């Protein structure tokens, strides 16, 4: 079994890169991709931890892209850690996220919620402080009943304290991932908020035309029906089918590494196919 979508303390996960590799070994994963948001900072440590382990580690990243409706995250797999152009983009994204947090907090203060940047920072164990950490603090303070509510009412793109940040256009993200030697895959297509299979197919065709390599077909929040639709779309558009749990550790306690909510079971063959696709391209 493999898991191609995971986060560490380098972004907003609760396991260090070494800790995550150790956990992957404990649950007997054969393949693991670390895909932190906007950063490659955890990958060198993870590679070191995976040396000599019976586990194939894939260098990954997850990039949020600018889209008019819904949420588009693109996963990059097999990327080179020292690529300048990708590094520059990631630097700009982290910087804009850093600037955005105080703006969100100011809006929340205006709405009457007592929250400080220092308190939010204390929620994060790594260098990246995200909206998730603001949500967790709001939960701690009893301002919301759960993280989902914090995003819906305040932090999400329809929330009252939402602030836009620097995000690449989908084509730009795909191109940068390719330039860095990687493959670009749409994460959790469920969040594209397509109304039906036809609309989903249309959105994904547009991305395929921009050079997209694959889709995250298997994901904890995907229904059996959506999984089947995505599988069909992969066949039709010649895209690779991949899957992962979006493991974050303690901050998303109900999601387990490898198995997600319990039903995920992605065979090693999926990673083998992805590698074949990469070698076909180069």
| Of residues 108 and 132, the one with the C-beta less far from Zn ion | 132
- The residue range among 10-18, 77-85, 99-107, 184-192 that interacts with Zn ion, by the rule CB under 5 A, is 184-192
- The residue range among 13-21, 50-58, 142-150, 238-246 that interacts with Zn ion, by the rule CB under 5 A, is 238-246
Q: Does 3 bind Zn ion (CB under 5 A)?
A: no
Q: How far is the CB of 74 from Zn ion (least distance, A)?
A: 9
SS3 readout for 5-42: EECCCCCCCCCCHHHHHHHHHHCCCCEEEECCECCCCC
**How many residues at the interface with Zn ion, by CB under 5 A?**
4
Residue 156 in tokens: 């999400």
Q: Is 250 helix (H, G, I), strand (E, B) or coil?
A: helix
Residue 113 in tokens: 């919620």
Q: Residue 68: how many CB atoms within 10 A of its CB? A: 5
Cβ atoms 127, 10 nearer than 8 A: yes
| Of residues 71 and 96, the one with the C-beta less far from Zn ion | 71
Cβ atoms 186, 207 nearer than 8 A: yes
Q: How far is the CB of 256 from Zn ion (least distance, A)?
A: 15
Q: How far is the CB of 247 from Zn ion (least distance, A)?
A: 8
* Cα dihedral value 131, 137, 141, 144, nearest 10: 30
Q: Does 246 bind Zn ion (CB under 5 A)?
A: yes
**CB within 8 Å of 58: residues ≥ 6 apart:** 4, 31, 32, 33, 34, 77, 78, 271
Binding positions for Zn ion, 69-128, rule CB under 5 A: 73
**CB within 8 Å of 156: residues ≥ 6 apart:** 162
Q: How far is the CB of 187 from Zn ion (least distance, A)?
A: 5
| Of residues 24 and 115, the one with the C-beta less far from Zn ion | 24
- The residue range among 60-68, 93-101, 174-182, 224-232 that interacts with Zn ion, by the rule CB under 5 A, is 60-68
Q: Residue 145: how many CB atoms within 10 A of its CB? A: 10
Q: Residue 267: how many CB atoms within 10 A of its CB? A: 13
Q: How far is the CB of 188 from Zn ion (least distance, A)?
A: 6
Output the residue with the shortest Cβ distance to Zn ion.
Answer: 73
Residue 63 in tokens: 């990039």
Q: How far is the CB of 110 from Zn ion (least distance, A)?
A: 28
Q: Residue 193: how many CB atoms within 10 A of its CB? A: 14
- The residue range among 24-32, 62-70, 227-235, 274-282 that interacts with Zn ion, by the rule CB under 5 A, is 62-70
Q: Does 167 bind Zn ion (CB under 5 A)?
A: no
Q: How far is the CB of 73 from Zn ion (least distance, A)?
A: 4
- Distance CA(205)–CA(209), nearest Å, equals 6
**Interface with Zn ion by CB under 5 A: which residues?**
62, 73, 187, 246
């Amino acid at each position: 079994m493999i898991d191609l979508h995971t986060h560490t303390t380098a972004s907003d996960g609760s396991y260090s890169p070494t800790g995550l590799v150790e956990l992957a070994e404990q649950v007997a994963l054969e393949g693991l991709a670390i895909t932190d948001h906007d950063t490659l900072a955890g990958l060198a440590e993870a590679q070191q931890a995976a040396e000599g382990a019976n586990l194939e580690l894939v260098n990954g990243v997850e990039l949020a892209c600018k889209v008019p409706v819904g949420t588009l995250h693109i996963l990059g797999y097999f990327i080179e850690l020292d690529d300048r152009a990708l590094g520059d983009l990631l630097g700009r994204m982290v910087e804009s996220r850093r600037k955005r947090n105080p703006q969100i907090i100011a809006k929340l203060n205006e709405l009457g919620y007592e929250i400080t940047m220092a308190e939010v920072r204390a929620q994060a164990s790594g260098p990246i402080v995200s909206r998730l950490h603001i949500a967790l603090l709001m939960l701690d303070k009893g301002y919301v009943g759960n993280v989902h509510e914090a995003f819906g009412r305040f932090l999400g793109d329809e929330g009252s304290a939402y602030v836009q940040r620097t995000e690449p256009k989908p084509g730009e993200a795909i191109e940068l991932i390719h330039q860095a030697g990687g493959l670009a895959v749409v994460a959790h297509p469920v969040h594209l908020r397509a109304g039906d299979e036809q609309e989903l197919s249309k959105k994904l065709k547009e991305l395929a035309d921009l050079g997209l390599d694959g889709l995250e077909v298997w994901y904890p929040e995907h229904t059996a029906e959506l999984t089947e639709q995505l599988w069909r779309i992969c066949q039709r558009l010649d895209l690779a089918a991949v899957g992962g749990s979006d493991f974050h550790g303690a901050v998303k306690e109900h999601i387990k590494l490898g198995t997600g909510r319990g039903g995920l079971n992605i065979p090693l063959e999926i990673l083998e196919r992805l590698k074949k696709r990469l070698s076909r391209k180069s």
